[in-house]
Each structure stands twice: as C-alpha cells, then as structure tokens.
C-alpha cells in the first residue's frame, strides 16, 4: 500500500492511496467483501493527512488535543466489483470544511474503471473529561496543511 500526492484543486490537496486486493479480502464469490472497502478508505483518510504533513494523531493529541478524525456519516455508491489481484487507487480529498467537521470524498478505481464513490463526514475529536470524545474546532494549522 502506498500514497502519492496528486495536483491540487480548488478544494485543496488530493492524495491517491494504492492497495492490492488479497485473497483474504474476498468473499466466497471471489469479489471484495464490502467492509474491506471501508477499511481501505479509513487507511486512505489517514494517509491523506500524513501526505499533507499532519503529524501522527499521537503527536496532535499532545500538541493540539486532537486524537483523530472519527467518522460520523458515510454514503457509498458501489459501481463495479473488485477481485483478488486487483490494484486499487483511492483518490482522497476534502471537499468541504466546516467549524468542527469536514467532508472527505473518495473515488476508488481500478485503472480507468470506477469501482465506488464514497463521501464521509468526519470530526476532529478530543477526549471528553469523564470519558468519551467530543468534536472540537478544526485546528487552523491542520486546515492550512490540507488546503495547500
């Protein structure tokens, strides 16, 4: 699995994360079992921030109080199946910044074939006193890194 930056657009950086479908990623019919797409999308989200220069969440927890970007909503449209041996590219970008959340979009392709499109809403989270997490304002330093 790897990630490479792509050219910027009006919404900021785009990062392409690449993964290979392994035998164990597939169901008995030989196609990717759908939860694996969400595992790869989650990995692509973190790689997006890493490629933009955002430190690991362990570091931002210490410096900014941000422990990560948990998912609060997702919508996915599956277009084609993927199978063992396929190499998938996951293009990731942030298309909307809000006060405490953002919209991150993904296009999963195999060559020129669109496999799926996904849109997620994520928050920047901090630990809540007494347990749990809470949404916090997006740190300006992180937003600046991600918008180029």
Cα separation of 15 and 8, whole Å?
Answer: 9
Q: Which listed residue (9, 25, 27, 99) is catalytic?
A: 27
Cα separation of 65 and 124, whole Å?
Answer: 10
Neighbouring C-alpha atoms within 13 Å toward the C-beta of 68: 11
- Does residue 27 have an active-site annotation? yes
Indicate if the alpha-carbon torsion angle 56, 58, 59, 62 is positive or negative.
positive
Would you name the residues annotated as active-site residues? 27
């Amino acid at each position: 699995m790897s990630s490479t930056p792509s050219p910027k657009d009006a919404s900021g950086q785009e990062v392409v994360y690449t993964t290979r479908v392994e035998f164990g990623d597939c169901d008995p019919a030989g196609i990717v079992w759908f939860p694996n797409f969400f595992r790869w999308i989650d990995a692509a989200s973190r790689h997006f921030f890493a490629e933009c220069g955002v430190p690991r969440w362990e570091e931002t927890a210490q410096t900014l109080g941000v422990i990560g970007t948990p998912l609060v909503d997702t919508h996915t449209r599956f277009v084609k199946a993927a199978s063992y041996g396929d190499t998938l590219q996951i293009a990731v970008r942030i298309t909307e910044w809000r006060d405490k959340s953002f919209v991150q979009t993904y296009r999963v392709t195999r060559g020129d074939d669109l496999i799926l499109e996904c849109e997620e809403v994520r928050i920047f989270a901090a630990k809540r006193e007494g347990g749990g997490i809470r949404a916090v304002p997006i740190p300006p330093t992180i937003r600046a890194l991600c918008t180029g």
